[in-house]
């Protein structure tokens, strides 16, 4: 009699559980394929993690550490009789970079992939399924799914500007954690600009010591920058999360901080943008910047460096009266200052190519003549589609980061007032989500598109709290726009809701899209 009772209660529980199950796995970005399996996997300290191929050893430790830190469950690595198992399996059939599959049953979870990025993505999906459930008496019940998944775009990026305001290594690590949680895999680090230079260069120590002083809102604040040791630490932290870090050393404009440290290489500026440029008319400028880039190249294994190239015309008026520039123009038959700008960039790109590194730049460089297989253009001026078209026509690879909707210094709600707006438009969560490549690029040129990226410029962002508010939850929408083939905003919002609690638990200050007035927009 007693056993029948237990069986009936058990059945009722299972039925209730199946009934309550969501239509989609609780994963952002939504996997390409999924089917529900009407079983429940129990994760506890008796669960064993089995690494079937040494290739996945590093990832297996990552998974173990994450389950411990998120849920206080120390899964073991030794299979015990009767215990559930998580297996990391090599499957060479998953050819696409980043692809993985998960098959689950009550007794085991098998995550498989052909390579490490794929297994990492599978681990993240599993962690998401686990994350939204609470542990009871040391175990977590996880609904079972079979999943087959791969990314839509190879480049799913986020840029943070630490020149205007400096956030520091702990904040950057936290950002990398959340990027990894959403399978964002390119961190573009804007380290130099007008207010400050934020990276130590051994050959030119004043760049950090003098150039590191100040911020966009306080020109006197003490020097803040990353030592080379810290850079290595960030790069390694990112690598553990399969994130490639791409440094940006902005030139020939946005160079004021560098020019404060080494004025002999300044090409002057304008009234509004003093000391804005490097001097293209001084032959030594090229060697100076190449020496800087050689150190940067050693520190960042990405083998690609972003050289900016944006908005040079804001502050290059002194070039017209510069004897060195005049000489350069006649020697190389450069007709105007735009030609000088491009000449400068071609020479600097050449320095990168000699380091076997790729050249990355903003869309002002869409028409520069460079080898198309070594050049990536970032399209940002959403009101200038012709520049995107030029980059595509030149066969350059492109990353799309149009201001609307991908500039996260723009506000995300009509009531917000501190951040930027473009006329009356801004970058609402649903617009980030709705990004559709077909609106920008013809089918036949889409093979040039590496992916998408959001940029967090920080003129109006000083505090961690505000940085968080501008990023979360918009990076969740960015992630799904960059990964999933089919999108549905309502289903996204359903899956997003429990993530807001995860932000809260991590003490992240976010924009509550479900109740916009609840957490107010922080001041700068």
Positions of E strands within 330-483: 358-362, 375-379, 397-400, 449-456
- Considering the complex, what minimum distance in angstroms separates the CB of residue 211 from ligand TNX? 17
Assess 435 for contact with ligand TNX (CB under 6 A).
no
Assess 265 for contact with ligand TNX (CB under 6 A).
no
The pair of three-digit structure tokens given for residue 59, joined into one six-digit string: 């990832």
Whichever of 387 and 480 has its CB closer to ligand TNX, that residue is 387
Whichever of 96 and 425 has its CB closer to ligand TNX, that residue is 425
Cβ pair 120, 239 in contact under 8 A? no
- Considering the complex, what minimum distance in angstroms separates the CB of residue 427 from ligand TNX? 11
User: Site size for ligand TNX, by CB under 6 A?
Assistant: 9
- Considering the complex, what minimum distance in angstroms separates the CB of residue 387 from ligand TNX? 12
| Of positions 62, 150, 181, 362, contacts ligand TNX by CB under 6 A | 362
Cα angle, residue 107 at apex, residues 103 and 108 outer, rounded to 5°: 35
Contacts with ligand TNX in 441-460 (CB under 6 A)? 457, 459
Contacts with ligand TNX in 294-323 (CB under 6 A)? 310-311
Report how far residue 361's alpha carbon sits from residue 58's, in angstroms, rounded to the nearest whole number. 33
How deeply is 5 buried, as exposed, middle or buried, from its count of CB atoms within 10 A (0-12, 13-18, 19+)? exposed
CA distances from 115 to 102, 150, 194 (A): 14, 12, 41
233, 240, 311, 465: the catalytic one is 311
- Considering the complex, what minimum distance in angstroms separates the CB of residue 247 from ligand TNX? 15
- Considering the complex, what minimum distance in angstroms separates the CB of residue 420 from ligand TNX? 6
Whichever of 328 and 452 has its CB closer to ligand TNX, that residue is 452
Cα angle, residue 25 at apex, residues 145 and 432 outer, rounded to 5°: 145
Contacts with ligand TNX in 23-62 (CB under 6 A)? none
- Considering the complex, what minimum distance in angstroms separates the CB of residue 311 from ligand TNX? 6
Tell me the three state secondary structure of residue 413. coil
- Considering the complex, what minimum distance in angstroms separates the CB of residue 251 from ligand TNX? 12
DSSP state of 487: -
Q: Which residues contact 399 (CB under 8 A, 6 or more apart)?
A: 155, 157, 376, 377, 378, 379, 449, 450, 451, 452, 453
480 catalytic, yes or no?
no
- Considering the complex, what minimum distance in angstroms separates the CB of residue 407 from ligand TNX? 5
- Tokens 């052909």 belong to 114
Tell me the three state secondary structure of residue 117. helix
**Radius of gyration of the chain from its Cα atoms, rounded to whole angstroms:** 25
The pair of three-digit structure tokens given for residue 155, joined into one six-digit string: 């480049």
Contacts with ligand TNX in 381-420 (CB under 6 A)? 407, 409, 420
Positions of E strands within 204-351: 244-251, 266-268, 277-278, 304-308
From the centroid of its chain, how far is CA 237?
14
Whichever of 25 and 451 has its CB closer to ligand TNX, that residue is 451
Q: Which residues contact 50 (CB under 8 A, 6 or more apart)?
A: 77, 79, 85, 86, 87, 88
Whichever of 407 and 510 has its CB closer to ligand TNX, that residue is 407
From the centroid of its chain, how far is CA 355?
24
Whichever of 117 and 409 has its CB closer to ligand TNX, that residue is 409
Report how far residue 524's alpha carbon sits from residue 481's, in angstroms, rounded to the nearest whole number. 28
x/- mask, ligand TNX, residues 157-196, rule CB under 6 A, reads: ----------------------------------------
Whichever of 116 and 311 has its CB closer to ligand TNX, that residue is 311
Whichever of 102 and 158 has its CB closer to ligand TNX, that residue is 158
x/- mask, ligand TNX, residues 317-356, rule CB under 6 A, reads: ----------------------------------------
Assess 380 for contact with ligand TNX (CB under 6 A).
yes
Q: Which residues are catalytic?
A: 311
Contact set with ligand TNX (CB under 6 A): 310-311, 362, 380, 407, 409, 420, 457, 459
């Amino acid at each position: 009699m007693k056993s029948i009772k237990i069986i009936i209660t058990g059945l009722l529980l299972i039925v209730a559980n199946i009934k309550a199950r969501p239509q989609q796995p609780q994963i952002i970005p939504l996997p390409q394929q999924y089917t529900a399996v009407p079983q429940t996997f129990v994760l506890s300290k008796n669960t064993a993690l089995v690494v079937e191929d040494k290739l996945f050893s590093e990832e297996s430790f990552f998974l173990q550490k994450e389950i411990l830190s998120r849920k206080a469950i120390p899964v073991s690595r030794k299979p015990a009789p009767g215990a559930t198992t998580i297996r990391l399996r090599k499957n060479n059939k998953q050819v696409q970079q980043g692809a993985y599959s998960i098959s689950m049953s009550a007794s085991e979870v098998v995550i498989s992939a052909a390579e490490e990025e794929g297994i990492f993505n599978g681990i993240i999906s599993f962690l998401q399924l686990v994350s939204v459930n609470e542990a009871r008496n040391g175990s977590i019940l996880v609904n079972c799914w079979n999943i087959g998944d791969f990314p839509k775009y190879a480049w799913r990026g986020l840029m943070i500007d630490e020149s205007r305001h400096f956030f520091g290594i702990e904040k950057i690590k936290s950002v990398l954690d959340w990027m990894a949680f959403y399978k964002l895999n390119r961190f573009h680090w804007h380290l130099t600009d007008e207010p400050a230079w934020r990276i130590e260069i051994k050959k030119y120590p004043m760049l950090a010591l003098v150039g590191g002083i100040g911020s966009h809102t306080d020109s006197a604040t003490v020097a803040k920058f990353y030592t080379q040791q810290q850079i290595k630490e960030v790069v390694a932290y990112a690598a553990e999360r399969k994130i490639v870090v791409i440094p940006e050393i902005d030139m020939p404009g946005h160079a004021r901080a560098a020019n404060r440290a080494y004025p002999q290489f300044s090409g002057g500026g304008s009234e509004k943008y003093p000391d804005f440029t490097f001097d293209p008319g001084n032959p030594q400028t090229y060697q100076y910047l190449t020496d800087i880039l050689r150190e940067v190249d050693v520190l960042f294994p990405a083998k690609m460096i972003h050289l900016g190239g944006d908005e040079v015309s804001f502050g290059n008026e002194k070039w017209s009266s510069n004897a060195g520039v005049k000489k350069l123009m006649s020697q190389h038959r450069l007709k105007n200052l735009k030609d000088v700008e491009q000449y400068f960039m071609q020479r600097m790109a050449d320095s990168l190519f000699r380091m076997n590194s790729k050249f990355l730049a903003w869309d002002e460089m869409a028409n520069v003549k460079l080898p198309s297989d070594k050049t990536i253009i970032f399209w940002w001026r959403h009101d200038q589609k012709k520049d995107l078209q030029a980059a595509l026509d030149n066969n350059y690879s492109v990353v799309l980061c149009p201001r609307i909707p991908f500039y996260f210094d723009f506000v995300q709600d009509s009531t917000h007032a501190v951040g930027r707006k473009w006329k009356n438009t801004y970058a609402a969560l649903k617009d980030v989500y709705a990004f559709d490549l077909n609106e920008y690029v013809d089918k036949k040129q889409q093979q040039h598109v590496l992916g998408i990226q959001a940029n967090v410029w920080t003129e109006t962002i000083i505090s961690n709290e505000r940085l968080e508010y501008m990023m979360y939850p918009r990076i969740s929408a960015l992630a799904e726009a960059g990964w999933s083939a089919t999108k549905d905003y309502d289903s996204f919002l359903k899956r997003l809701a429990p993530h807001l609690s995860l932000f809260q638990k991590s003490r992240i200050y976010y924009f509550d899209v479900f109740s916009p007035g609840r957490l107010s927009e922080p001041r700068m």
